[in-house]
Structure 1
Amino acid sequence: MSTVQPFDTTTPIVLVVDDTPANLGLVVECLEGKNLRVAIARDGEEALRRAELAEPDLILLDVMMPGLDGFETCRRLKAMEKTRDIPVIFMTSLTQTDEKITGFRAGAVDYITKPLQMEEVAARVNTHLKLRALQKLQEAQNVQLQREVKTRKQAEEALIEMINSVRNVSNSIAHDLRTPLTELRSRLEALILTLRRQGNRDTLPELEGAMTDVDRVIRIFNALLRLAEIDVGVRRSGFVPSDLASLLSDAVEFYQPVAELRCVSLSLACSGDLAVVADPLLLAQAIGNLIDNALKFARDGGDIRIVATRAPERILISVADDGPGIPDAEKPKVTERFYRGDTSRGTPGVGLGLALVKAVATLHRGSLDFADNHPGLIATLTLSSDL
């Protein structure tokens, strides 16, 4: 079964404008013989009225007419909103190049030279009607596309607004609760010290456990507030010239005792110029989170390697461990806030560490990526060196 082309779905209308009845009759007979609908006008003024009323698909326009000639009629058609896109073909005995240029400048798309040859008239009309139909189809598709883009944009804006609303609520809760929690911790700490001085050790384990729980909640709130600062761009004010080699060295030194307790080898290798304009406090925390994460999952007696290199317009910091790694299906999810994968169920944490690292990477126009280490995981923090 053949597919019907867009220009065949309705019968096109052709407006024929000519002050000579004989020419008008021949053209109308030819076009009606091709199963086209035809409207006629005998001068420029009538042509303007008919064109605005009928909105034809094509206009055949005589050039030499009394009153408004074809050139001026065409200019006025192109100046009117309802008719500006209708293609115009001039019918004329004028053959000089400058006369044709005048017609094209007026807005015509083609010329048919008099005396008219009906086969040529039919062929040119058919060609331009097909082009007009395709143009209408494209315009309709563009309108539909614009509607879809607008709808998707509205949906995206609504989703962003909802996400921001939820995020603002969680940030507000974190901010409002951190102060009373800090006060609670201080009271617990004072109570523990008092009981120790009094030699009352019966309830100390429970109180110390409670303080540990409070510390854990405070760490969560601190992480949420830090993420909130990154989200709203507040931390951009903390960007200063920084030496990543020094930050990495300090981080390795800080975690070295923890690694030694588990007989884990913790090594650092830096190459190239690692100077960058960045937020050193956030980077230190992000690097610390990556090392801490590696230490949680590294094998006892295993190996953690930290490598920092400079590439064109980027600095890459990789932390590789030899633990269980992360399944491919979970890699896109582990940077979501509060996400805990199957391999991390039995380890300390709440699922904000990698979320913070990703937020720090985004703030520095970089990324956080994961790859298999066979065995283990390679987490690579990429920073833009052109901030």
Structure 2
Amino acid sequence: MSTTEPFDTDAPTVLVVDDTPANLGLVVECLESNNLRVAIARDGAEALRRAELAQPDLILLDVMMPGLDGFETCRRLKAMEKTRDIPVIFMTSLTRTEEKITGFRAGAVDYITKPLQMEEVAARVNTHLKLRALQKLQEEQNIQLQREVRTRQQAEEALIEVIHGVRNVSNAIAHDLRTPLTELRARLEVLTLTLKRQGNEQVLPELEVALTDVDRVISIFNALLRLAEIDAGVRRSGFVPSDLETIVSDAVEFYQPVAELRRVTLSLTVSGDLVAVADPLLLAQAIGNLIDNALKFARDGGEIQVSAARRGDMIAISVADDGPGIPDAEKPKVTERFYRGDASRGTPGVGLGLALVKSVATLHRGSLDFADNAPGLIATLSVNCCH
């Protein structure tokens, strides 16, 4: 090695183990001429110490040595945590298949047959150094990936905790305010009746508007609390065998007067066995929300078609209207709480109706999907039959 041209400190290091000085000299000269750093050991015991200390990128190991032979040295290298991943190439005159198998079982990655050909030595060393570099890069990338996964998991857990905290606060507010609002409504109702008996008709219209406003706020709180119960899984205790045909029929019947006022035709078709283990009260509310939503947007004199059908393990309840529909860009957003699309700006509501339907669908291991009705919208609530 020239003293005027020091090796690059980043160059790979090869540990050469051989008890024959002539072989050591040839191999060291070959490796140094290929700009590799070289460490040497003259027997197996010294090789174990040098390998642990120098942490070479590759080991060239003679098989026939006094004391610890190459096979046993390799086994011990593979048994030590600090050296187990260092690739080992045997240098040997043993060429029988059984001897090569013994070497591979000891942990070697390759063989170089003596007498050594320096071009072959250089080629095999370079190949395995490249493989080792790729292995190290992959290990580093795996470690980095694991770090990123842990960081993302921690971020997700923190985000979930924040979301739960916000929901808990909103739920607590809704719960605390619902009682005084209910009391306020009762007092307004008493006041309205009192004024009617006294014949004071001047402020009655304003009181009736106030009652309507209070009812609307109470309905918002009721929806929030119902969503909170669903999120917490409390409503699962309400699951019983239910006939969804009856639930859907009752919902359609309930909204028939409203449809008639709007001159909207509200029809129902059912098919198949519609019995499922479900929460009938939540499903009734969810189906009612879909019909109510369709009535808000259906054309005067238009048509709303409600259908319920069995599809394998699922029951699908669809409500199709002929209104403006929902743009594709808005479809993923309309089930977010308090989201109000452009088409709904002029209609009453606060954006909890479809959010509630989505939560009910999730509780029943189902889904809420939207499709174009050209014109209008088809909203489909699917629930699993068995729980």
TM-score, normalization by structure 1:
0.94
* Structure 1 counterpart of 2:5: none
Partner of 1:5: none
Counterpart of 2:238 in structure 1: which amino acid? G
SS in structure 2 opposite 1:64? coil
| Partner SS, residue 308 of structure 2 | strand
Q: How far apart, CA to CA, are the structure 1 residues paired with 2:239 and 2:323? A: 34
Q: 2:9 and 2:384 mapped to 1: Cα distance?
A: 56
Alignment partner, residue 242 of structure 2: 242
Please give the secondary structure, in 2, of the residue aligned with 1:354.
helix
Deviation of 1:218 (Å) = 0.6
Structure 2 residue 248 is the aligned partner of structure 1 residue 226: no
Who is 2:306 aligned against? 306
- Paired residues for 1:227-306 under 5 Å: 227-306=227-306
2:141 maps to: 141
Residue identity opposite 1:348 in structure 2: P
Distance in 2 separating the partners of 1:165 and 1:64: 70
Which SS does the other structure have where 2:95 is aligned?
Answer: coil
Matching residue of 1:3: none
Deviation of 1:9 (Å) = 11
What letter matches 2:40 in structure 1?
A: I
Query: Residue 28 of structure 1: CA displacement?
Result: 1.2
How is 1:173-212 mapped onto 2 (pairs within 5 angstroms)? 173-212=173-212
Shift of 1:210: 1.5
CA shift, 1:139, in A, is 1.0
- Counterpart of 2:55 in structure 1: which amino acid? E
- Which amino acid in 1 is paired with 2:160? I
Equivalences for 1:1-387 in 2 at 5 Å? 10-387=10-387
CA distance in 2, matches of 1:18, 1:27: 10
Deviation at 1:272, TM superposition (A): 2.2
How far apart are the structure 2 equivalents of 1:113 and 1:96?
11
SS at match of 2:379: strand
Structure 1 residues 295, 134: CA separation in 2 closer, same or farther (over 3 Å shift)? same
Q: Quick one: distance in 2 between partners of 1:160 and 1:24?
A: 63
Q: Distance in 2 between matches of 1:313 and 1:166?
A: 36
- Aligned-partner SS, 1:305: strand
Q: CA deviation at 1:197?
A: 2.2
Instruction: Tell me the distance in 2 between the aligned counterparts of 1:116 and 1:22.
Output: 11
- The range that moved more, 241-250 or 97-106, is 97-106
| Alignment length (residue pairs) | 380
C-alpha deviation, 1:386, in angstroms: 4.5
Q: Distance in 1 between matches of 2:69 and 2:237?
A: 69
* Deviation digits for residues 183-204 of structure 1 (CA, Å, limit 9, x no counterpart): 1111222222222223232322
Residue type of the alignment partner of 1:116: L
User: What secondary structure is seen at the aligned counterpart in 1 of 2:94?
Assistant: coil
**TM superposition shift of 1:72:** 2.0
Give the aligned residue type for 2:169. Answer: V
Task: State the distance in 1 between where 2:253 and 2:223 align.
Answer: 23
Give the CA deviation at 1:298.
Answer: 0.6
**2:4 corresponds to which residue?**
none
Q: CA RMSD in A?
A: 1.7
Secondary structure of 2:335's match? coil
d(CA) in 2 for partners of 1:215 and 1:380? 28
| 2:3 paired residue number | none
Change (3 A) 1:140 1:307: same
Which consecutive residues of structure 2, in runs of 5 or more, have no partner in the other structure?
1-7
Aligned to 1:380, the other structure's residue is in SS state: strand
Alpha-carbon distance between aligned partners in 1 of 2:205 and 2:52, rounded to the nearest angstrom: 91
1:217-237: per-residue Cα shift (whole Å, max 9, x none)?
110000000000111111122
Partner SS for 2:300? coil
Structure 1 stretches of 4+ with a deviation exceeding 4 A read none
Instruction: Find the aligned partners of 1:201 and 1:56 in 2 and give their Cα distance.
Output: 98
Q: In the TM superposition, what is the alpha-carbon distance from 1:259 to its structure 2 partner? A: 0.9
User: What CA deviation, in whole Å up to 9, does each residue of 1:44-64 have, x standing for no partner?
Assistant: 121111111211111111122
The DSSP-based 3-state class of the residue aligned with 1:378 is strand
Partner secondary structure for residue 365 of structure 1: coil
Q: Distance in 1 between matches of 2:74 and 2:41?
A: 14
Instruction: Measure how far apart 1:337 and its partner are.
Output: 1.0
Provide TM-score, normalisation by structure 2: 0.94
Q: Secondary structure at the match of 2:175?
A: helix
The offset of 1:41, in angstroms, is 0.5
2:83 partner SS: coil
* 9-18 vs 42-51, greater mean Cα deviation: 9-18
CA drift at 1:33 = 2.1
Q: Deviation string for 1:310-354 (max 9, x for gaps)? A: 223332221110111112222222111111122112211111000
Structure 1 gaps of 5+ residues are 1-7
